[in-house]
Structure 1
Amino acid sequence: MQPIRVLIVDDHALFAEALAARLAREPDLVILPIADDARRALALAATERPHVLVLDMMLGAESGLDVLDRVRRTHPDLRVVVLTAMDDLDVMVRAVRRGAVGWLSKTESADLVARVIRSAARQGGWIPPESLGELLRRLVRDAPEPNGGARLLADLTPREREVLQCMVDGLGRAEIAERLGLSANTVRTHTQNLLAKLGMHSALEAITLAMRAGMRPSE
């Protein structure tokens, strides 16, 4: 498989350098130069073409959420995993709504960080198990009402609905491609299109909306 290019955005130099050195030992990860602020993060995202961005929520005077917004606007395919010392469910919910696919505490092991990076690169993600239930509850609570969600789903093409059903079933991009007999790139295109039509930033939000509108995992 193609090596996963990883951009670390963190203004704590010692932590970032130690993490980069540890992750560089993984044969399938390529660690790019570290960014310590939004400007450098955007510049490196444009020139280095990372697959996954590992983002701290506290970047000096800058908000990690603002950096997430700016990166996602300019690089919508970039997968963002939050790695932070912040323990705030409200911020976690806001980050997921804005497109983050993972949330990790800085107290987690480097092995777990590497696994989540791999999952993110394959269209997966990771939320702490102890927070997942409340996160989903809040996403469902704030999603459009069922009738509104059903109207949004009605705008999807039959193929986009099939891809969304696979997402509700818990499948990643490669598994969706195998089930539907499509290429991974075609699945990515359908996923991007359905997210845009639903007005969602992440697969987790789209799944939440679909389930609120009545879509359920397949038998």
Structure 2
Amino acid sequence: MDPIRVLLVDDQQLFAEALAVWLARQAGFEVVGAVHTVAAARALLATERVDVQLVDLELGAESGIELLDHARERYPLLRSVILSASRSPATVATAVRHGAVSWLSKTADGDTLLQVLRGVLRDESWIPPDLLAGLLHTLAEPASSPVLDRLTVRERQVLQCLVDGLTRAQIAESLIMSPNTVRTHTQNMLAKLPAHSALEAVSVALRSGMRPDGLGAGQVSAE
């Protein structure tokens, strides 16, 4: 398999460079660059294939949100993962609404980092369990208009399973359908909401009034 190509964007130069050296030594990963500004990141994205951008939201006078928006506009296959010292659920919610598919603390251990980077390419999302409740509460604030009526019955059932924290395999078992059919329903549902990831779809669902019956511990996953 091709290595996962990662772009690191952090204004703390020593931290970014140390992380880049460590990550480049891990099997199955390639570091495209470790940059410190939005402009430098955008320049690399324009010339290099990047699978995952690992972004700090606070880039000096700039904001990593700019890169999230840029990725959603220009590179729909690029996964955006936030690596931040912030512990604010509201900040996590903002990142999710702008396209982040996972959130990692800068104190996360190496195994968790590698697991998340691999997982996002399988359309998995990760939020630290201690931030998840606050995030869901923030995302559950009512939306200005309902959007769930756009979905078919099956698509709505798949979305409910995502809100409940089920994996694709668990959804297939619960709804008695193949994993490939779950994937098709998920892709159709994301296009209609619209949402760019399962985690963002859960955000839309919660703000539109859908509620979980029982959540998993920190992971929302649907390939």
State if a TM-score over 0.5 links the two structures: yes
Whether the 8 Å contact between 2:101 and 2:120 is mirrored in structure 1 is yes
Give the secondary structure class of the aligned counterpart of 1:182.
helix
Q: Which residue of 2 aligns with 1:122?
A: 122
Q: Does 1:213 align with 2:210?
A: yes
Q: Deviations over 1:132-165 (max 9, x none)?
A: 01110111124456xx2xxx33323566446535
Whether the aligned pair in 2 keeps the contact of 1:79 and 1:101 (CA below 8 Å) is: yes
Residue 12 of structure 1: aligned partner: 12
User: Identity across aligned pairs (percent)?
Assistant: 49
SS of the residue corresponding to residue 140 of structure 2 reads: helix
Q: How far does residue 85 in structure 1 lie from its aligned partner after superposition?
A: 2.3
- 2:192 matched residue in structure 1: 197
> What displacement does 1:131 show?
1.0
Q: Which amino acid aligns with 2:210?
A: A
Query: SS at the partner of 1:49?
Result: coil
Equivalents in 1 of 2:75, 2:12: separation in Å? 24
Could you tell me how far 1:28 is from its partner in structure 2? 1.7
- Verify the 8 A CA contact 1:97 1:200 in the aligned structure 2: no
**What is the 5 A alignment of 1:70-219?**
70-143=70-143, 148=146, 152-157=147-152, 160-161=155-156, 163-165=158-160, 167-168=162-163, 170-172=165-167, 180-182=178-180, 187=183, 191-210=186-205, 212-213=209-210
**Inter-partner Cα distance in structure 2 for 1:141 and 1:90:** 11
Tell me what 1:21 maps to. Answer: 21
Cα RMSD, aligned residues only? 2.9
Q: How many pairs are equivalent?
A: 209
Q: Using the alignment, how far apart are the partners of 2:105 and 2:133 within structure 1?
A: 17
Give SS of 1:5's match.
strand
**Structure 2 alignment gaps of length 5 or more:** 215-223
> Using the alignment, how far apart are the partners of 2:77 and 2:13 within structure 1?
27
Matches within 5 A, 1:31-50: 31-50=31-50
Determine the C-alpha separation between the residues in 2 that align with 1:176 and 1:77.
Answer: 24
Instruction: Quote the offset at 1:213 in angstroms.
Output: 3.5
SS in 1 for 2:54: strand
TM-score normalised according to structure 2 size: 0.78
Structure 1 CA distance for aligned equivalents of residues 2 and 161 of structure 2: 24
* 1:21 Cα deviation from its structure 2 partner: 1.2
Answer whether contact 1:19 1:110 (CA < 8 A) is retained.
no
Q: 1:174 to 1:75 in 2, by over 3 A?
A: farther
Inter-partner Cα distance in structure 1 for 2:56 and 2:36: 10
Are the equivalent residues in 1 in contact too, given 2:20–2:31 (CA < 8 A)?
yes
- When residues 19 and 216 of structure 1 are mapped into structure 2, their CA distance, relative to the original with a 3 A threshold, is same
Greater shift in the superposed pair: 90-99 or 155-164: 155-164
Q: How far apart are residue 94 of structure 1 and its match?
A: 0.5
Structure 1 residue 125: deviation in Å? 1.7
Shift of 1:95: 0.5
* Partner SS for 2:8: strand
Separation of aligned partners in 2, 1:215 and 1:180: 23
Structure 1 unaligned runs (5+)? none
By how many angstroms is 1:117 displaced? 1.0
TM-score by length of 1: 0.79
Q: Deviations over 1:148-207 (max 9, x none)?
A: 2xxx33323566446535534545568778953528xx93x7645423421334422322
